[in-house]
Amino acid sequence: MQRKGTVRNINKIEGTGIIEDENAQEISFSLRDAFFGGIKLGYKVVFDIVLTNQGLRAVNIVFMETVPLIL
């Protein structure tokens, strides 16, 4: 079952990020699992969850919508 959420944190140095799901639960992800190149804070995504030895991890991350650019 896929979950919906919002990208809340990206750490390009560590190659990780945090997605907050609709229940305000924070789930980590690897930038390698976010196959789309230009992930940004605030992007709405859908994703699957897997249980790893480090806890829950978001995988199969796909854009639902992007944040409009403000010029």
How far lies 5's CA from each of 24, 34, 58, in Å?
A: 9, 13, 10
Residue 36 DSSP symbol:
S
What proportion of the chain, given as a percentage, has pLDDT over 70? Answer: 85
For residues 49 and 65, give the distance between their C-alpha atoms in angstroms, rounded to a whole number. Answer: 20
- Is pLDDT above 50 for 71? no
Quick: pLDDT tens for 32-66. 876 556 778 898 999 999 999 989 999 998 888 66
pTM (two decimals) = 0.82
Domains of the chain: 3-65 (2.40.50.140)
